[in-house]
Amino acid sequence: MRSPSPRQPCKPTSLGGRCEIGSIAFDGRERISARHYHRGVLHNGSTVTVRVPAKINIGLRVGPRRLDGYHGLSTVYHAVSLYDTVSVKAADAMRLTLTGPESTGLAADDTNLAWQAARLLAEHLAVPKPGAISKPGAISKPGFDLHIDKQIPVAAGLAGGSADAAGALLACHELWGLDLDAIELSGLAAQLGSDVPFAVHGGTMLGSGRGETVRPIAVGGSWTWVLALAAGSLSTPAVYAELDRQRASAQTASATGSPSAEPAAESDAPAPESDATVLAALARGDTDGLSAAAGAMNDLQAAAVALAPYLEDTLRAGREAGARLAMVSGSGPTCVFLAEAGTAEQIADRLRALPRCRAALVVTGNAPVLPAWPAEPGPS
Ligand code: C5P
C-alpha cells in the first residue's frame, strides 16, 4: 500500500550550498527518503514498533520573545538512552492506550500529542496533492490503534511528549506504507511542536529557529550522563514567561534603578548564534572542553530555578559528587550531569538521597531512534 498520491518532487531552496525547507536543513545533494533515514522501525506482522529517545540540551541560547510568541533559540539537541516504545496496529477508529511508569495521569485521548501526530499524518495522507490522480483502492484517513509504553516523564525538559509524537509519526508512516521524505516528515513534525523534528531523528543535532530547524552535527567519543528526575514538573510556557519577566526586570532595573514585573517586549531580533566551542568539544569527544564551554549555557536555567528553587540543591549535589557538567535540561525540572567513566553510579546514588529527586538514571548520549525487537520467548 503506497501513498494515495504520486510523489511530488520536493523543491529545495539553495541557501549557500544547503537546502533548507520547512524545518530541516541538509546538504543540497542529500535527498534522503524517510524510509532510508528513519531506520528505527520494526514491522512485526500487523504491528509496527519504534523506540524513541528522550533528549537533553547541551547549551540552550534563547533570544527575545518573537512576534509570534515563540523565542528564537540555538541549541544542541542530544538524545539519550531513555526510551518510550510506540507501537501501532491498523484499526478502523482512533485509539490510544498507555502503560509504563510515566503514564500515570496522562490523557489517552485527542489531547495527547501522539494521537495528534497520528491524526495529522492520516489527514495529510487523505489530502490529494495538486495535480494528483487518486488511485483506485487508495486509503483515506485510516484509523490507528496506538500503544505507548512510557518511560520518559512529561513536562520534565526531556521532550517526552515530543518523542511520543515522533514515534507515532514514524510508526504510522511505516504502517500505512507511505514514502514521505525526511523533509516532508519534519514539516509535519514541526506543526506538532518545536522539539518534534529533532525527536524524529534522534542522535545529536543543532537546533535553531524556534527549535524546529535541525541539522546533524559531528559527535566524537561516547558520553555518559546522569539524569535526576524531579518530584514535580514544570510547564515549558511558564518557564519561558519567567525568563521574559526576569529579563524585563533586569532591563528596567538598569534603566530606572527599580525592577519591573512586566514581561519583556516582543522583538524580531535575530535568533542567537550557536556556540562554536561547544560544537568543537562535542566533535572531539572532549569532556574537559565541553564542561568548560557549556557550564552556564542554558538560558532557561535561572527561570527554571526561580520556579523550582530545589533545583539549586540538585545541581550542587551532582557537582559535589564529581559531575563534570551540571545543568537543567531544557525548561526543566530534570537536571543532567556529565559523568566520567566509573563515576556515574556514585553521582546517581548521591542524587537519589535528595528529597526532591524521585529517580536518578545513568544513560548514554547520542542515542538513535531504535527498532524495538520482540522479547525472547521465555522458557515454557
Ligand atoms: O513548540 P511547543 O508547542 O513545544 O512550545 C510550547 C510552548 O513553549 C510555546 O507555546 C511557547 O510558550 C514556548 N516556547 C517558546 N519558544 C520556543 C519554544 C517554545 O516560547 N522556541
Same structural domain, 62 and 85: yes
pLDDT-derived band at 126 (thresholds 50, 70, 90) equals confident
Is residue 152's pLDDT more than 50?
Answer: yes
| Residue 351 covered by a domain | yes
Any atom of ligand 1 within 6 Å of the Cβ of 71: yes
**Is the CA virtual torsion 85, 178, 110, 241 positive or negative?**
positive
Among 264, 257, 220, 229, which Cα is nearest to 243's? 264
Average pLDDT over residues 70-79: 96
Q: What is the structure's pLDDT at 227?
A: 98
Identify the CA nearest to 198 among candidates 115, 18, 294, 76.
76
Q: How far is the CA of 70 from the centre of ligand 1 (A)?
A: 6
Distance 170 CA to ligand 1 centre (A): 23
The confidence band for 3, taking pLDDT boundaries of 50, 70 and 90, is very low
CB of 374 within 6 A of ligand 1: the answer is no
In the predicted model, is pLDDT for residue 71 greater than 70? yes
CA–CA distances in Å: residue 183 to residues 10, 196, 198, 214, 321:
8, 13, 12, 11, 43
pLDDT of 210 > 50? The answer is yes
| Helix (H), strand (E) at residue 214 | strand 213-216
Q: What is the pTM of this model?
A: 0.85
State the average pLDDT over residues 151-177. 95
Q: Residue 131: what pLDDT?
A: 62
Q: How many CA atoms lie within 13 A of 38 on its CB side?
A: 32
What percent of the chain has pLDDT above 70? 76
Using 50, 70 and 90 to split pLDDT, how confident is the model at 7?
Answer: very low
User: How high is the pLDDT of residue 331?
Assistant: 97
248 and 349 co-located in one domain:
yes
Instruction: Dihedral sign for Cα 131, 134, 139, 142, please.
Output: positive
pLDDT band at 135 (very low <50, low <70, confident <90, very high): low
> What is the predicted pLDDT for the residue at 181?
86
DSSP state of 325: E
Q: How far is CA 116 from CA 4, 110, 171, 208, 311, in A?
A: 21, 6, 14, 24, 32
Our answer on whether the CB atom of 194 is closer than 6 Å to any ligand 1 atom is yes
- The three grid cell numbers given for residue 335, joined into one nine-digit string: 537536571
Domain co-membership, 201 together with 303: no
Checking if the pLDDT of 332 tops 80, the result is: yes
Our answer on whether the CB atom of 235 is closer than 6 Å to any ligand 1 atom is no
211 touches ligand 1 (CB under 6 Å) = yes
**If you average pLDDT over each of 38-47, 126-135, 204-213, 250-259, which comes out highest?**
204-213
In this structure, what CATH number is given to the domain that contains residue 315?
3.30.70.890
Whether the per-residue pLDDT at 302 is higher than 50: the answer is: yes
pLDDT greater than 60 at residue 49 = yes
229 and 208 in a common domain: no
What value does the mean pLDDT of the chain take? 83
- Out of 216, 247, 274, a domain closes at 216
Whether 162 and 28 map to the same domain: the answer is: yes
**Residue 134: which pLDDT band, with cuts at 50, 70 and 90?**
low
The predicted structure's pLDDT at residue 378: 42
Q: How many domains does the chain have?
A: 2
From 54, 108, 23, 57, select the one nearest 239 (Cα to Cα): 57
pLDDT of residue 370: 83
Protein residue with least CA distance to atom 19, ligand 1: 70
Based on the fold, state whether residues 111 and 185 are members of the same structural domain. Answer: yes
In a shared domain, residues 329 and 250: yes
3-state secondary structure of 189: helix
Instruction: List, as one string, the DSSP characters of 99-116.
Output: ESTT-TT---STTSHHHH
Sign of the dihedral defined by the CA atoms of residues 187, 266, 304, 326, in that order: positive
Residues 249 and 197 in one domain: no
List the residue whose alpha carbon is closest to atom 3 of ligand 1. Answer: 193
For atom 9 of ligand 1, which residue has the closest CA? 237
Where is average pLDDT lowest: 261-265, 290-294, 299-303? Answer: 261-265
What count of other Cβ atoms lies within 10 Å of the Cβ of residue 9? 7
Tell whether 232 and 324 lie within a shared domain.
Answer: yes
25 and 153 part of one domain = yes
Residue 1 lies in a domain: no
Supply the pLDDT for residue 4. 35
Please report the pLDDT score of residue 205 as a whole number.
96
Is residue 351 helix, strand or coil? helix
Considering the domain architecture, whether residues 249 and 292 belong to the same structural domain is answered as yes
Choose the final residue of a domain: 199, 216, 233.
216
Of the three residues 216, 233, 250, the one that is the final residue of a domain is 216
Residue 334, ligand 1, Cβ within 6 A? no
> In the structure grid, which three cell numbers stand for residue 292, read together?
568548560
List, for residues 245-278, the tens digit of each pLDDT value: 999 998 776 667 766 555 555 666 666 787 888 9
Beta carbon of 74 within 6 Å of any ligand 1 atom: no
Rounded Cα gap, residues 378 and 380, in angstroms = 6
- Active-site amino acid positions: 55, 195
Residue 64 lies in a domain: yes
Question: Which CATH number do you get for residue 54?
Answer: 3.30.230.10
Q: Is the pLDDT of residue 72 over 70?
A: yes
Residue 335 lies in a domain: yes
Which pLDDT band holds residue 183 (cuts at 50, 70, 90)? Answer: confident
Shared domain for 169 and 232, answered yes or no, is no
Query: For a substitution probing ligand 1, which of 61, 70, 331 has the most ligand atoms within 8 Å of its CB?
Result: 70
Enclosing domain of residue 263: 224-364
Rounded percentage of the chain residues whose pLDDT exceeds 90: 64
- Tell me which residue has its CA closest to atom 21 in ligand 1: 210
Residues across the chain:
380
